[in-house]
Structures are given as C-alpha cells and as structure tokens.
Chain A
Amino acid sequence: MSFLNLILNLVIAAITFGTALLFGTLGEILTEKSGNLNLGVEGIMFMGGAFGLGGVFYYEQLAGTPNGFLAVLIALLCAFLAGALASLIFSFLTTTLRANQNVTGLALAIFGTGVGQFVGEMMRVKAGGYVSLSNAMKDVFTMSPFPAFLKDIPYVGSVLFGNSHFFYLGILLAIVMHLFLKKSRKGLYLRAVGENPATADSAGINVTRYKYLATIIGGGISAIGGVVYITTTAGCTWNNEGLSGVGWLAVALVIFCLWRPLSAIWGSVLFGALMILYMRLQLSFIPTELYKILPYVVTVIVLIISSLRNNKEKQPPEALGLAYFREDR
C-alpha cells in the first residue's frame, strides 16, 4: 500500500517535471523535422520562462483583480512570442544568411540564457529583491482542469486527472502535431523538406517558408516549456539557475523519442521520473548525483542502437543540421 503510494506520488511528480520537457521537446521536434537543428533550446526556454513569468507578474500588479484564465493566456503568449523571436534570429541567420546551424544554435543558447537571466534579474531588482506571484495565482497555474470528484477516484484519480492543465494541453498538442506530420499534406511537405530539401524544392515546395515557419513555431512551443517549468516546478519564482539544463534535456529527449510527438508524451514523463527519482526513491547503492545522468546515458544508448540497427523509420531527419542552398545542388 505505501509502496503503491510511493509509485503514484513519483508518477505525479514526474508528470509535473515532464510537462515542461514535453513542450520543449515538441517544439524541437517540429524544428528538427524541417531539417533545422536548433541547439538554442536552452536559451529559448530561459527566455520563455523569464518573459512568461514577467508577463503574468506585471499583469497581476496592474490588474487589481486578476483573471486566472487571462493570466495563463498572457504567460503562454509572452513565452511563445519570446521563443518565436529567438527562433526568428536563428532562422534568419541559418536559412537566409546561411550560417552554420550548430554554431548559431550555440550562440542562441548563450544569448537566450543571458537575456533570460538579465530580464529575471532586472525584474528582481525593480520588485525589491523577489519576483514571485501571489498564492492565488500559483494555484491557477497548478490547477487541474477536471472537476474535483474525478480526482477522488482511488489510486488512478489523481494521476489521471490531478495534473496541471498544461499537461493536458501538451498531450493535445502532441496528438495534433502527430496528425499534422503524418496525416496532412503540409506535414508531408515539412518532412520532405527535412529529409531532402533539394527534392522538395524541385517538387515546388517552398523550402525557405517551411523552414522558417517550423522553426519559429517550434521555438515558440519550446519557450512555453520554460514558463511551464517556472510556474509549476519552480513555484512561480524567478531563480537564475532554475532552468539550467532543462533545454539540453529536451534536446536529448527528441532523440530518445526518435522524433515522434506521441512518444514524447511518455518519454517526457520517464525523463521527468529519472530527474526526480533521487528525491523519491533512495537506494543506498546508487548515489543521488548519478541518478541525474541516467537520462543522458539512456539517450546515448538510444542513439547508438538506432544507428546500429540502421532502421529507416528510426533515424534523424536525413538533412538535419545541413544548410540547403539551391545553387549548391
């Protein structure tokens, strides 16, 4: 019984942590499907976290009686716009100005981390040392969208219906993205651009437009992961180190789930579990610090196995990380 409770609590905590990863990963999957390897996710998520929290923070201060729904909307919108803007820089440099994707992505990671910390720090100084939302607002962000009686179902109730609405939004997004990529014509075009831009181009697909749109929207979605992390896991408080590593973990998760949005759902919960396992399940023979490298070890193993098996279905997009210049064909 207590063991079961332990597992249930672990799963709930894993979902909370994993939700932020889910958004980060879904955004990066969309980006990578267009053949753009945007390594700036870390920076994008920092920006999303800082701007999203800032948006709600100032909204709450300005509006005397803040509306919960509007607050969540503002958080999502601010984060999305920040991430979209950051990815626009990436797209412009790599697609239009033909800069190297790896280097540009790293530059974006440095820049975004700087902007996030800078904005967070400025807010902290202006607010007198502490940026935090009111308790009522914190509840809005961690609230479940389902009525209370569903949560009271024994055992499965809180696991299935007790999570923050971001988690359900993330699942919805994953399903939509799956349908878009697999069932729609535009999704097929996008995959074609990521696999072989030259072929896509000669088939009349506007490679530049697809790369831009996928990267910008993907960046926006990743940035939402940042604000989700700040408002759920980090307790609606800004902390310069709070988000560090989450973005890189999202990059790892993209590989782990083999570029499939639906796998990202359980993948993010699994990674979330691995990241918090040390707090919940202490085994004397595994030191806590070593738990934290498990996600990366697992990712490396997945990477090796997928290259060993050389299965066409389970590979990175063929042209991932490669720039496409029409005249180089």
Chain B
Amino acid sequence: MDEKIKTPLIRLSKRSQSSLSPAAAWLIRLGSILLALLLGCLVVAITGNNPIKAYGTMISGSLGSKVYFQQTVKKAIPLLGCALAIAPCFKMRFWNIGAEGQITAGALAATFVARTLGAKLPSLPLLLIMAAAAILGGGLWGLIPGFFKAKWNTNETLFTLMMNYIIIGVVAWLQAGPWEARQGRIAQFDAAAQLPRVAGIHCGWIIVLLLVLFIHVYMRHTKQGYEIAVIGDSIRTAQYAGMNVGRIMMRTMFLSGAISGLVGFIIVAGANHTLAHDVAGGVGFTSITVAWLSQLNAFAMIAISMMLGVLTKGADTLQTVMNIPAAISDIIIGLLLFCMLGCEFFINYQIIFRHKAGKGGAEK
C-alpha cells in the first residue's frame, strides 16, 4: 500500500505579521489599482474609443486646470468626511450603512435652521447653529438603530439601510410640499447661510481636514477609541473588562451620525445652497468603500477619496468630450473596489503551490 500524504495543488496560509513589509503591502495595493485601470481600458475599448486618450481626458478634465481641480476637490470633500464618520462604526464591527440617511438628516436639520433663522442672524452665528443642528440631526438619526442594536440586538445593517429611505422620503415630501418654492424645488439659501469660500472652494475642505486629525486622534489616542477597538475585536472581552457595550455602541453611532450630519451641512451650505432629496447622492454608500479600502486609516482616506473624486469628475468631462456615458465612472469605481477588496487577500494570505514530486516539501 503506498499511502501518500496528499497535498492539494494550491494551499493557503496566513501570513505572519512580519512576513510582509508595509511597503510590499502598498505595492500589492498599487498593483490592484493598476489592474482595475487596465480593466477599465477594456470597457472603454468596447465602446470603440481609445483607452489612453480616454484616461488622458479624465486626468486633464479633473486636474488639468484650476477650475477642474476645484470641482474635483468639491466631489472629494463629502466622500472624505463621510468615510471618517463611518470609520469608528466599522472599527467596532457595527455595520452602519446608513450614512446616506444620516447625511440627509443633517442636511434637513441645517436647512430647517437656515429657513427659520436665515434672515434674522448674521452669517457666523447662523452657520454655527446650522452646523450644530446638523450634528444633532444626523446623530439622532444614527442613534435610533444604535439604540435598538444595543437593547435588542436588532440587525443594524438592515436597520440603517431602511432608515436611509425613510429620511430621503421625508425630504422628498418637504421638497414637493411644505417647503416648495417653485417647480418642486426648495428656495436657495440666503447669502448668510452659505459657507464662505477659501482658495476658491467652499471652506468645507478645511472642516473635513480638521476632522481627519480629530478622527485620527480619537481612534488612536483616546480611551473611547480604545474601547471601540476592543469591542471590534471581541465583544466578550469588552464585557469581561467591564465596558458597557451597549452604551459605547450608542455613543459611537451618535458620533458617526453626527459627523455624517455635519457632512450634510457642508453639502447644503457649501456646495448646493439648497436641499433636495438626493442631497447625499450615493456619497453615503461610496464613502463606506472609501473607509474600508483605507483600512480605516484617516490619512489614507484623503488619497482614496481624491482618487474617486478624480474618477467622477473625469467621467463627467469624458461624457462631454468623447460622448462616453458618465456611468463609466461607476464601472471603474466598482472595478477598483473589487480589485482592492480582492488584493487584501493576497496581503493577508500567501499562496503555496504544491512542489513537484521529489523536490521535497520543505518551504523556505
């Protein structure tokens, strides 16, 4: 009987922490981005256009001039802000996919203030009250699913998802009914309720950059950030250590919703100067992927959100210049996400091929 030990052709083993240098890990990530862009070439080629020319148009159309660059940054601001909002939740393994709704809730609250106090207050206090209202609105909208998760373990993924469409529906109602100015639109804000511009872009970019610092410090260097990390690793450990898990969950969800709400304020007061039911416009969903791809690292989020900003703005230009549908940006972003999600596997695991017979099995 020759009973051989059968080794499969391919096997996987988890990499130890030290076996892959951070540089190599980022190299793999860069490779996955290149792969996604190559796949994007294929899509462009199917439409009968020159892929290199298309990418050139996207780059020049998003970074090529000062105005284009400002528009690109404008697209990246809410993505970055919202990714920062999601980071604490995801660190806690609380799958909050309700950022879309929390943005809308914040925007709604800010608009309410702008409408009621708009003509009565000078700009600075008005903007501050609007921001505070947005923080409260978004925070409370996030707190509701957090409360039910903490008390009765209600599935937060599905709950937060439903909350999005409820608040979006409410805004759609206000837009078409009580707050309608004309033709189903809400009136533009007073000049006092608009964010001032700094370097040609509304000052929301300063707010989100400050938020980057805040989230970095909060997650890495505070007790609350530590509690979040412990719960993310193991709820039982957290309970054993005497942490009030339910309270921390609710607190984190409020914080997350509050930041998303602030992003909503930035969008209405900075970019749109009015409220519409599609105020979030998918940012809440896209930013989840931004947060995840950045490994919840606040600084990496700046780069990733800028990259997505370039793609979206570039695709707009692509549509006007080369007549390729702007939906291509969603395709390329999707491909990018797939490749980057997949590449994490190769960072965390190594693939070992079966050695040819006779060569022996010892690995280096």
A residues with CB within 8 A of B: 37, 39, 43, 89, 92-93, 97-100, 102-104, 106-118, 121-122, 125, 240, 245, 248, 251-252, 255, 287-290, 292-293, 296-297, 299-300, 303-304, 307-308, 310, 316, 320-321, 327
A108 touches B161 (CB 8 A): no
Q: What is the CA–CA distance of A287 and B97 in the complex, to the nearest angstrom?
A: 28
Are the CB atoms of B166 and A111 closer together than 8 Å? no
CA distance A99 to B345 in the complex (A): 7
A90 to B161, CA, bound (A): 19
What A residues does B218 contact at CB under 8 A?
A: none
Chain B hits for A288, CB < 8 A: 176
Residues of B within 8 A of A (CB): 14, 43, 47, 95, 97, 148, 152-155, 157-159, 161-163, 165-166, 169-170, 172-173, 175-177, 282, 285-286, 288-289, 292, 323, 325, 327-331, 333-335, 337-338, 341-342, 344-345, 348-349
**CB-based contact B345/A287 at 8 Å:** no
Complex contacts, A327 vs chain B, CB 8 Å: 14
A110 touches B282 (CB 8 A): yes
Q: Do A303 and B158 form a contact, CB below 8 Å, given A117-B327, A293-B166, A293-B170? A: yes
B165 in contact with A251 (CB, 8 Å): no
Q: Return chain A residues, CB-CB under 8 Å to B14.
A: 327
CB <8 Å contact, A93 and B330:
no
Whether B172 and A109, one on each chain, are in contact in the complex, defined by CB atoms closer than 8 angstroms, is no
* Contacting residue for A248 out of B161, B292, B330, B341, CB 8 A: B161
Contacts of B95 in A (CB 8 A): 102, 321
Q: How far is the CB of B293 from chain A (nearest CB, A)?
A: 8
CB–CB A118/B328 < 8 A: yes
With A99-B341, A289-B177 given, is the CB distance from A114 to B157 under 8 Å?
no
**Given A118-B328, A125-B323, A37–B157 Cβ distance below 8 Å?**
yes
Q: Please state if A103 and B327 are interface contacts (CB–CB under 8 Å).
A: no
Contacts of A251 in B (CB 8 A): 158, 161
Whether B162 and A110, one on each chain, are in contact in the complex, defined by CB atoms closer than 8 angstroms, is no
Q: Which residues of A contact B334 (CB under 8 A)?
A: 43, 107-108, 110-112, 114-115
CB pair A99 B344 closer than 8 Å: yes
Let me know if B165 and A110 touch, CB within 8 A: no
Complex: A316 Cα to B155 Cα, angstroms: 9
A97 to B342 alpha-carbon distance, docked (Å): 6
- 10 tightest A-B contacts by CB? A111-B334, A114-B330, A293-B169, A289-B173, A107-B337, A121-B325, A117-B327, A99-B341, A97-B345, A307-B154
Distance of A251 Cα from B330 Cα, bound (Å): 21
Interface centre among B158, B173, B342 (most CB of A within 10 A): B158
Task: Please tell me if the beta carbons of B165 and A304 are within 8 angstroms of each other in the complex.
Answer: no
> Would A122 and B337 be within 8 Å (CB), given that A106-B285, A290-B173, A307-B148 are in contact?
no
Measured between beta carbons, the chain A residues less than 8 angstroms from B292 are 100, 103
Q: Which of B153, B163, B330, B345 contacts A300 (CB 8 A)?
A: B163
Q: In the assembly, what is the distance between CA of A102 and CA of B341, in Å?
A: 11
In the assembled complex, the CB of B329 is this many whole angstroms from the nearest CB of chain A, namely 7
* A111-B337, A255-B158, A300-B163 as given contacts; A106 in contact with B289, CB under 8 Å: yes
Q: What is the bound-complex CA distance between A261 and B152, given in angstroms?
A: 26
The answer to whether B345 touches A98, judged by C-beta atoms less than 8 angstroms apart, is yes
Of A106, A296, A300, the contact of B169 (CB 8 Å cutoff): A296
A25 to chain B, nearest CB (A): 14
User: Do A307 and B152 have beta carbons less than 8 Å apart?
Assistant: yes
CB distance from A71 to the nearest CB of B (A): 25
**Chain A proximity of B97: nearest CB distance (Å):** 6
What is the bound-complex CA distance between A100 and B338, given in angstroms? 11
- Chain B residues closer than 8 Å to A112, beta-carbon distance: 334
List B contacts of A109 (CB < 8 A).
Answer: 285
